[in-house]
Structure 1
């Protein structure tokens, strides 16, 4: 079975609808561009602008929306630095060292994020306690209002 015929079928073997086939083709194109990195995305966007500016504009918006133009979400993409080196260097000792270092850094990052969350909770608790103390102090300093006269 050719690659195109295989891509046009679902897992069950039934032919895909037209939209499913297009979505599959777009998914494959996205994976290939991710594997090549940001320069490939930029080249695809420029080519799309040259061929049909609305498609280029849509691709630009997609790249911004998905985070491919920024550095914030770089660690979540398949073409991040770690994924680019995932094949290994051929030196088993270095590859083991690199994996251990990356694992240690990820653990430190998780521990730091937990620390920040605890810090935020402690700050929120302190602010809440201060609010409640001020509220109790204000209630204690306010004289009790006389009860309304029932005969009136």
Structure 2
């Protein structure tokens, strides 16, 4: 009986509504699968340790840090990246980020949007405290968070 380690695996993942089947290294992170194999570079790599949230995507509707998930763990799953939030026009959440100046350098923005979108799906009109809890796994080094919280609250109220 051979004990040769598995080094490559075939994964089938629906990303933003399109199904992809790829052979990937068994240890490839989901973030690298999205960026390198599928060329979906909106998902950012910030820390590679699961601390900053810049790589947040939805895995079967649940926000996850894609630097902490192997691509093979997403086999058979549905993944939504920031590119999948809207095809052409900005979503109300994205427009609210713009209207409330909720970004500066923009590096954390994809992860913030994905975490906020998940919150708004569960809680359509969140309070400031609910937004703060939902975003607590996302780090922004530029904005001080206030405008981000305002933007999410306003998007929950239908924009402001």
Write 1 or 2 for the structure with the bigger share of helix: 1
Write 1 or 2 for the structure with the bigger share of strand: 2
Instruction: Report the TM-score range of the alignment, normalised by the length of the smaller protein.
Output: under 0.3
TM-score, normalised relative to structure 2: 0.24
| Higher RCO (CA-CA < 8 Å; seq separation 6+) | 2
